Amino acid sequence: MDEDIMLEELYSRMINNLQAYHPAAKNSKSIRRAFETARAAHAGQVRKSGEPFVIHPLEVAIILSELRLDKETIIAALLHDVVEDTLLTTEDIKKEFGEEVMFLVDGVTKLTRMSDSVSKAEMKLESFRKLIMAAAADIRVIIIKLADRLHNMRTLQFQKPEKQLEVAAETMDLYSPIAQRLGISVLSTEMEDLAFSYLFPEEFKQISYKLSIMDKDQGMNQIISEINRELGNAGFHFKLRNERKHLFSIYRKMVNRQKTLEEMYDISALKIITNSNRDCYLILGILHYLFNPVPNRFKDYIAIPKENMYQSLHTTLVSKGGRRFEVQIKTKEMDSIAKFGVLAYWKYGESAIDAKEISKGQMEKALWLKQILEWQQDITNNAEFIDLVKGDFDLFSETISCFTPKGEVKRLQKGSTAVDFAYAIHSDIGDRMTGVFVNSAKKEPDYILQSGDCVEILTAKDSGGPQKEWLSFVKTSNAKNKIKKHFRDSLLQEIGNYEWKEGQEASQSGYLVRLNVYMQKINGFRKFQPISQYFFSGNIDIQEFYYREKEGVLTALLQVDDKKELQQMIGELDALQYIEKVELADTKMGYDNKELYSS
């Protein structure tokens, strides 16, 4: 096919999508100008597939038009690679398309022009931090990035095998969970399944094949007919569909439950879409009358929505023939939110102000993004920041719902403790925690919570702060970060409180400092080598150095010139992975204080 014809067909497809919710889009001069600008800027560039590069931004814009995004977002999608890959600058974008489009394009643009001393991996991590910061101001930035990643996953077969694994892992660890947290299941499920096919190819093939056989099973038809008849006779207006869950979701359930595919009864779900909340509960009553409900398999996400705004009634039933099946009951609005999340209420704004207000309103619902922004301020090391985000985004983890004494719901990762719950309320509550009551019974801080628990945290202003041993059992990334931050801040304050005096002899000016570095166990082992490499890098004046393997504590006697140097050293140490805590043991003047070294 001729290149021009192919590009025009893709452009027409995007415009047709836009016209469904904005009839004037066909005659939009700014959208056409953005397309022509991208086309000219990317002229001569080709993708790994051999196709013209401009097909990629066009496909990204098509994905966003299917999500019914506004005109400025579509324009930014068409231009999202020009600053990174062509001679055009953000100022060129601003001059031609306005400041709003420029901000969206700049937010998605990866960092490529940093110091030569900065590695490619470090730039990649810094680019992700930049993306999060931009999304905090306008959530459309991250929506564009998700569409960009989805199209890259759709064309991943043209990359080298090692690149495929890298991109698939990053998608599974970061981008799919972001789409999931925003409630945009139409993006998250496709990204997960595509990443699954590269990361676990054998499992992907096996599950796909077995499901193709199971799809021929007619066992659900009788159940569906009975439900249709009974609800119709009761006068309800509804739609009923039988939907199979996506492949990675099924695989995740198999891993978590340690079951084979043949042992899974909820690889699909009957979804009943009705008109009102009231009808949802009435239909639930009829279903529980027709079929036996399975104990402890009912979840009311209408009364207690998920963090990504998902609402529905979930119940597991047993047919007269002994077959288990899952039913989800929701309204039309809830069904839309289940697919599009924060975009469910998105309307095409005629003005830039309308679109920004919509983005701001949806941003307020993405509480998890606010939490990540807090971590970004607390953590200077990019690798540690990304590890924390990945831990919070763990797609294999399940969640529980617990309650405060006032009935406020807190959702936590399964396996979370009372300390995790305290920090989920507020960092001050966690720092001042002195005890806990779970369902009116006194428990220890490491008590593992169960879904439905009512948790009361006891606090005191003079609690002394969090305990070091809490790091060994807390589950959530939020609690780990807040505890580490407390110890880091306490240490820096301790340094600031020391009275620093000049050395007695000019030739021996400086101070002896003993630091205890506590190393964290990773998979049962402590990583001693990276820490020792830091101390013996040649930039630190070491007087004594030893390691107590049993306790996992490295002690170093160092000479520093002043408080500023020590503070910088503490910051660098704290940024290293595998460190649980850095402790300032003592600070003395001169070289004759060898007693500092004594253990």
Tokens of 208: 């796909």
Please answer whether residues 60 and 77 qualify as being in contact, where contact means their C-beta atoms are separated by less than 8 angstroms.
yes
| DSSP assignment letter at 294 | P
Q: Do 169 and 110 sit in the same domain of this protein? A: yes
Q: Is residue 279 part of a domain?
A: yes
Measured CA to CA, the distance from residue 139 to residue 67 in angstroms comes to 14
User: Span 27-50, mean pLDDT?
Assistant: 92
Of 154, 183, 203, the one marking the end of a domain is 203
At residue 537, the pLDDT reads 55
Flag whether pLDDT at 371 surpasses 80: no
At residue 355, the pLDDT reads 47
Element (H, E) at 349: none
pLDDT mean across residues, the chain: 81
Q: Do 516 and 437 sit in the same domain of this protein? A: no
Q: How many CB atoms lie within 10 A of CB 562?
A: 11
Q: Is residue 321 part of a domain?
A: yes
Flag whether pLDDT at 109 surpasses 70: yes
Q: Is residue 276 part of a domain?
A: yes
Q: Is residue 262 part of a domain?
A: yes
Band of residue 377 on the pLDDT scale cut at 50, 70, 90: low
Q: Do 14 and 101 sit in the same domain of this protein? A: yes
**What letters, b where the CB count within 10 A reaches 16 and e where it falls short, cover 572-587?**
ebbbbebbbbbbbeeb
Measured CA to CA, the distance from residue 149 to residue 190 in angstroms comes to 11
Q: Write phi, then psi, for 334 (nearest 5 degrees).
A: -65, -35
Per-residue pLDDT tens digits for 62-102: 999 999 898 999 999 999 999 989 999 999 999 999 999 99
Which of 131, 89, 169 has the alpha carbon at shortest distance from 369? 131
Q: What is the CATH number of the domain that holds 41?
A: 1.10.3210.10
Q: Do 159 and 140 sit in the same domain of this protein? A: yes
Per-residue pLDDT tens digits for 406-435: 888 888 888 999 999 999 898 899 999 999
Q: Do 313 and 235 sit in the same domain of this protein? A: yes
* Residue reference for tokens 């309320």: 425
At residue 372, the pLDDT reads 65
Flag whether pLDDT at 487 surpasses 80: no
Flag whether pLDDT at 364 surpasses 80: no
Per-residue pLDDT tens digits for 299-353: 999 998 887 889 999 999 999 888 899 999 999 999 999 998 878 765 444 344 4
Enclosing domain of residue 326: 208-341
Q: What is the pTM of this model?
A: 0.69
Cα distances (angstroms) measured from residue 288 to each of 227, 236, 327, 328: 11, 16, 11, 13
Q: Do 518 and 586 sit in the same domain of this protein? A: yes
Band of residue 369 on the pLDDT scale cut at 50, 70, 90: low
Maximum alpha-carbon separation in the chain: 98
Please answer whether residues 556 and 515 qualify as being in contact, where contact means their C-beta atoms are separated by less than 8 angstroms.
yes
| DSSP assignment letter at 85 | H
At residue 116, the pLDDT reads 47
Which string of DSSP letters, residue by residue, matches 449-517?
P-TT-BEEEEE-TTS-S--GGGGGT--SHHHHHHHHHHHHHHHHHHHHHS-----SSGGG-SEEEEEEE
- Crossing angle of helices 55-66/3-19, nearest 10°? 20
Cβ contacts of residue 57 below 8 Å, gap of 6+?
38, 42, 77, 78, 79, 80, 81
Show the 3-state SS of 220-241. CHHHHHHHHHHHHHCCCCCEEE
At residue 523, the pLDDT reads 47
Q: Angle 180-186-190 (CA atoms, 0-180°, nearest 5)?
A: 85
Could you tell me the strand order of the sheet in which 455-459 lies? Answer: 441-443, 433-438, 455-459
Q: Is residue 223 part of a domain?
A: yes
Flag whether pLDDT at 509 surpasses 60: no
What share of the chain in percent tops pLDDT 90?
44
Assign 3-state DSSP to the chain and report helix, strand, coil percentages, each to 5: 55, 15, 30
Q: Is residue 363 part of a domain?
A: no
Q: What is the CATH number of the domain that holds 539?
A: 3.30.70.260
| DSSP assignment letter at 171 | I
Q: What is the CATH number of the domain that holds 264?
A: 3.30.460.10
Which of 384, 356, 553, 587 has the alpha carbon at shortest distance from 481? 384
Measured CA to CA, the distance from residue 173 to residue 485 in angstroms comes to 24
Q: Do 191 and 218 sit in the same domain of this protein? A: no
**What are the residue numbers of the active site?**
84-85
Beta bridge partner(s), residue 513: 558, 587
Please answer whether residues 66 and 17 qualify as being in contact, where contact means their C-beta atoms are separated by less than 8 angstroms.
yes
User: Span 367-374, mean pLDDT?
Assistant: 63
Q: What is the CATH number of the domain that holds 450?
A: 3.10.20.30
At residue 396, the pLDDT reads 55
More confident residue, 302 or 491: 302
What are the contacts of 481-486 at 24+ separation with CB within 8 A?
Answer: 481/375, 481/378, 481/379, 481/388, 482/423, 482/427, 482/430, 482/431, 483/423, 483/430, 484/574, 484/581, 485/378, 485/427, 486/431
Q: Is residue 379 part of a domain?
A: no
Tokens of 518: 């506590």
What share of the chain in percent tops pLDDT 70?
75
Q: Do 196 and 227 sit in the same domain of this protein? A: no
Q: Do 29 and 167 sit in the same domain of this protein? A: yes
Q: Do 413 and 303 sit in the same domain of this protein? A: no
Tokens of 233: 């006779």
Q: Do 447 and 420 sit in the same domain of this protein? A: yes
Of 298, 314, 341, the one marking the end of a domain is 341
Of 203, 229, 264, the one marking the end of a domain is 203
Flag whether pLDDT at 385 surpasses 70: no
Q: Write phi, then psi, for 408 (nearest 5 degrees).
A: -75, 135
Band of residue 24 on the pLDDT scale cut at 50, 70, 90: confident
Q: Do 161 and 288 sit in the same domain of this protein? A: no
Tokens of 389: 């985000």
- Count up the domains in the chain and report the number: 4
> Which amino acid is present at 195?
A
Q: Write phi, then psi, for 315 (nearest 5 degrees).
A: -145, 150
